[in-house]
Structure 1
Amino acid sequence: MLLTPQRLLKISSNSHLANLWYLIATVTLTVCNQPQEIPAIYHYAMRTKHLHELPSVDLYQKVLSTVDRFHNIRDTGKDPHYTPYPDEAFQTTEKFRESILKTCALSGLPKAINSLMILKDTTPYNLRRHDNEATNRAPIKSFEEYQAVQKRGREFWDGVYTKVSHRIINQMASSYPDLWQYAIRDVYSDLLSYCGVLSHEETSVIVISCLIPQDVNPQLKGHLKGALNSGVDVEILRESRRLAMEISEWCGVKWRREVASI
C-alpha cells in the first residue's frame, strides 16, 4: 500500500485541513489512478470523525481490519448489514462520493467509476444509497429549471475567472465552439456548480487537488485565484496544494515545471 501508518498519521493530523484532508487525498488518488488506497482513507476518516478516535499506528491497524472485513462481506455476502458507524455519517460518505464524481470533469470518467465502485464496496449498508433513481441532482423538467442550472454554472464560472472570464470564453470558443458549450453546459452548470453536498469552497479545493497531479499550470493558476475569490482561506489553499503534491509524489508523479502556487 502507498499509505503507510506514518503517511496516514501525517496527512490526517493537519489542523488546517481537519474536514478536508480525506477529500483531498481521495481525489488526488483518483486522478493518480490509485483507487485501491481509498478504503483506508475512508475508514480512517470515519473513525476519527465519527468514532472520535485519535490518529495513530494502532488506528491504522484497526482500519486495515475494517477494510478486510468489508472485503469479506463483498466476497462472501455474510453479515451484509454490519456497520461500525452511526447513520449521521451518511453526509460524510456523500462528500466522498460527490468529490469523486466531480473528478469526472477533470481527470476522466473511467477513473471516477473505478474509485466510486471501490468506495461502494467498503461502505457500510446504512451509509449507501439504495434507491438508484434518487439522485442529488433532480431531473430537469422544464426550460425554466434548465435556465436556472445554466445561470448557476455561469455564476460559478464568473466567480472563478472574474475579470478574465470573457477572454477565456473567447479563447475556448475560438479553438472549438463546442468546447465552450460543453464546459459551461455540462461541466460547470450541471456538475461543478452544484453545491447540495459540497460547498463552493470545498469544490474549489477539490478542483485544485485534481489539477495538481496533472501538470496543467494554466488551469491550476486560474482555479487557485478562483478559490481565493470564493473566500477560501489562503492558508487552507497552501496546505491543500502541499498535501495534494505530497500524495502525488507518493504515487510517482513528476512535474515538468514548478507547480503553480499562490
Structure 2
Amino acid sequence: MSSPAPTLPSTLLDSFLTLSTPLRIRWYMCIIVSLSSLNYPEVIPQVYKHFDSTLLSQLDEKERFSAAQQVREGLIKSTGIVGAARTGNAMRTLSECMPDEFREQESPRSKESDEVARKRGRQFWLNVYARNPLFDPVKTERASPDYAFIVRDLLYARVFSYDGVLDPLTSGFAMVAGLYGIDTRNQLRNHMIGMLYNGATREDLQELQRLCLAVAEALGVKSRFGPVEIPSIQEK
C-alpha cells in the first residue's frame, strides 16, 4: 500500500511571489528539478498547481508555452546529473499536469549536427571548469577516457550546453538543483564555482541552496554531509 504524497509548505512556494516573472519561472524549475533528483515526482502536481494559479494563468498563450518549456528543459538538463530513470518519472508526471497546448511536437536537439553540438559543448565545459583551480581534468581522463568522452562530447554537447530554451547561466541553476538532490559535494562545489565565473552571484547560490535544502527538509530527506559552503572566486 503506497503512502500519500507529502506536501511542501505553502510558505516555501509563496516565498518568491514578489519576484519578477523570469526569476519565478527559474525557481519553479529548480523546485521541480529538485523533486526529480530527490525521487519525489508525486509532489510535482502540487508545485505545478501553484505555478499555474499564481503565474501561468496570468500570462498570454506564448508566454505560458515558453514557461512550461523552460521547466521541461530544466528537467532535461538534470538528466545528465540525476539519470534517465528519475528524470523520466518526473517528466511524465509533469506532462500529466499540463494541457495539450503546452506540449512540444518535435525535438529541436535532433535537428543539430554533432559538429555544432560538440563545439558548443566543449565551450560550455571550458566555461564551467577551465578557471577552477580545484578541478583537475587529468583525473577524469585517467579514471576512464570513455567516461571523459561521454561527459564532454555527449552530455555537455547534447544535454547541458543546448541553449535553445535556457541560457547557460539558467542551465547552471538546473544542474546545481539536481546536484543538491543527489548530495554530491565535489560536483556541487565545482559547478557553483563555474556559475560564479559565468555571472551568478553568491546571493544567487545562497538562495538556490536555501530552496533546495528547504525542499529536502520538507520531505524528510537528510544530507549525508551537510550544506556545502558557498564558494567565492577572485577574478584575475
- Structure 1 counterpart of 2:103, one-letter code: R
CA 208–226 in structure 1, closer or farther in 2 if over 3 Å, else same: same
**Contact 1:159–1:229 (CA<8 Å) still a contact in 2?**
yes
Tell which deviates more after alignment, 21-30 or 226-235. 226-235
Aligned residues: 223
Indicate the residue corresponding to 2:42 in structure 1: 36
| Residue 202 (structure 1) aligned to one of 147, 154, 170 | 170
- Structure 2 counterpart of 1:181, one-letter code: F
User: RMSD in angstroms over aligned alpha carbons?
Assistant: 2.2
CA–CA distance in structure 2, aligned partners of residues 8 and 166 of structure 1? 35
Tell which deviates more after alignment, 146-155 or 217-226. 146-155
- Structure 1 counterpart of 2:29, one-letter code: L
Does structure 1 residue 135 correspond to structure 2 residue 103? Answer: no
TM-score, normalisation: structure 1? 0.78
Shift of 1:234: 2.5
TM-score, normalisation: structure 2? 0.86
Structure 1 residues not aligned, in runs of 5+ = 54-84
The Cα offsets for residues 20-72 of structure 1, whole Å up to 9 and x where unpaired, read as 2101100000001111111221232233223349xxxxxxxxxxxxxxxxxxx
**Contact 2:36–2:87 (CA<8 Å) still a contact in 1?**
yes
Matches within 5 A, 1:10-21: 10=15, 12-13=16-17, 15=19, 17-21=23-27
Shift of 1:224: 0.4
Indicate the residue corresponding to 1:2 in structure 2: 7
Indicate the residue corresponding to 2:208 in structure 1: 240
Matches within 5 A, 1:176-255: 176-255=144-223
Shift of 1:165: 8.0
**Contact 2:9–2:218 (CA<8 Å) still a contact in 1?**
no
- Structure 1 counterpart of 2:10, one-letter code: P
Matches within 5 A, 1:56-71: none
CA–CA distance in structure 1, aligned partners of residues 19 and 135 of structure 2? 38
- Structure 1 counterpart of 2:110, one-letter code: A
